[in-house]
Structure 1
Amino acid sequence: MTRPWQLAFGLLLTALAGYVDALGFIRLSGLYTSFMSGNTTQLAVSLGQGTVARSTMPALLVIMFLAGSILGSGLSMVTPMRWATPVVLTYEALLIVGALAFGLATPDLGLASLFMALAMGSQNAVLGSVEGFRAGTTFVTGALHSLGQNIAAALTGRGAVFAWIGDAAVWAALLMGAFCGAVAYDALNLYALILPAGLAGLLAGAAALFTVARSPQPPAASSAQ
């Protein structure tokens, strides 16, 4: 996959993460399906204040995100390298569909949010860094820090003038994804998960087409003389 396509994939996946995180945040009244720093803080506060019952959901979300990271990373490791991206994206799409199915069947158990966290943990195994900045991950704290560093370098003349644009785009992608997720959830409730599931599936298909197109072709048979 070429760099422009890697960048496009990464930004779309970051937007997808923001979308899913917004759904989880609204549904769980302040918890997250991809921002585990926030869940970890809420877990610690709940335990510190002695409200153990309130610590259950943030703990489960952290566990499911970690499980998703392990499963997604393991899947990418055992899959031939050129097929890792389409395979992990297909797995992520299926997990989001599972979140929708379980959420509709058992709306009071929180299974939709747990499957969403599992999917977001898996997504981080898809793409790594693209020419110096992270794209496709489910968090942007590192991108914001890198954005600040690159702006400082540009202002002091110690770095490229526009090196900060990539990190700014990653942050903006998460912001826009979360905005769209909030609007969609208000209109569609859990059915809003159809969009990220479809997007993950489309990206999986596109990645598979790239893989096939770039696969080495067998040499043509020479004609008999």
Structure 2
Amino acid sequence: MAIGIALLAGFVDATGFLQVDGYYVSFMTGNTTLLALDIASGARRVLVPALLIAGFVLGVALGTWLGDFRQTHRKRRVLSAVIALLVGAASARASGWQAPSLACLVLAMGALNTTLSGNRRNPVGLTYMTGALVRVGQALGDRINGTRASGWSPFVWLWGALLAGAFLGAMATQQVPSAALWIAVTYAALLLLASEVMARRSGSA
């Protein structure tokens, strides 16, 4: 599920990046750097990264509230909210409303990070991969030191999924821009269906 969500995050971030001309809807480290550069250079678009960061935080808050509302069906509630926001983003983009579309996208990506984050101490980053690459680097360092490293391969898969999703999102946005976000909506719906199937098989939510 984490790998599937990372692919969705990469796809959506690529479409948002191309839509807003160089800013991100899920990678807030990049937006923070861009915010500092815009402030230093006096760029008129300084509010763009600032609002994207604020929207992402609000999205995380929304996902956290929905996920913690009850003990069960966390993924169902959070993914349903993400799907609704992606539908809003796709509809707004189709109508030529860029600002509302970006607002829905950044809220969706913030909420998406909370899909699997019931554990506050060890949250799983799903729309950014710096932590995952650090884990891979640590494993390589352990190997050099002669220590057997374990548990690092999932982080390679997460990074690869984000990369693949971003590639597909960029291709879709360039080839079929009017349909790119609807592809994301369809895929998110498939993730929701998959989470329901896995929950039933495991007897949990």
- The answer to whether the superposition gives a TM-score over 0.5 is yes
The percentage of counterpart residues that share the same residue type is 34
Quick one: distance in 2 between partners of 1:89 and 1:44? 32
Q: Which residue of 1 aligns with 2:144?
A: 155
Please report the RMSD computed on the Cα atoms of aligned residues, expressed in angstroms: 2.1
**1:117 is aligned to 2:106:** yes
Residue in 1 that maps onto 2:42:
50
TM-score, normalised relative to structure 2: 0.90
1:11·1:135 contact (CA, 8 Å) conserved in 2? no
User: What is the distance in 2 between the residues matched to 1:19 and 1:11?
Assistant: 13
Gaps of 5+ in 2: none
Distance 2:60 2:30 in 1: 17
SS at match of 1:74: helix
> After the TM superposition, which residues 83-98 of structure 1 pair with which residues of structure 2 at under 5 Å, given as runs?
83-98=73-88
Displacement after TM superposition at 1:93 (Å): 0.9
The equivalent position to 1:102 in structure 2, one of 92, 97, 122, is: 92
Q: CA deviation at 1:94?
A: 1.0
Equivalent residues of 1:72, 1:88 under 8 A apart: yes
| Pairing 1:207–2:199 present | no
Q: How far off is 1:50 after superposition? A: 2.1
TM-score w.r.t. the length of structure 1 is 0.82
The residue type paired with residue 180 of structure 2 is: A
In the alignment, does 2:138 pair up with 1:138? no
Q: What secondary structure, in the 3-state scheme, does the structure 1 residue paired with 2:148 have?
A: coil
Please identify the structure whose Cα radius of gyration is greater.
Answer: 1
1:195 pairs with 2:186:
no
Count of residue correspondences:
202
* In structure 1, distance between residues paired with 2:82 and 2:178: 17
Could you tell me which runs of 5 or more consecutive residues in structure 1 were left unpaired when the two chains were aligned: 1-8, 217-225
Match of 1:127 in 2: 116
C-alpha distance 122-190 of structure 1, shift in aligned 2 (>3 A) = farther
Distance 2:70 2:185 in 1: 22
Letter in 1 for 2:190: L
Asked whether the 8 Å contact 1:61–1:114 carries over to 2, the reply is yes
**Per the alignment, in what secondary structure is the counterpart of residue 189 of structure 1?**
coil
Alpha-carbon shift at residue 215 of structure 1 (Å): 4.1
Which SS does the other structure have where 1:88 is aligned?
helix
Distance 1:68 1:190, change over 3 A: farther
CA 1:201/1:136 → structure 2, altered by over 3 Å: closer, same or farther? Answer: farther
Residue 36 of structure 2 corresponds to residue 33 of structure 1: no
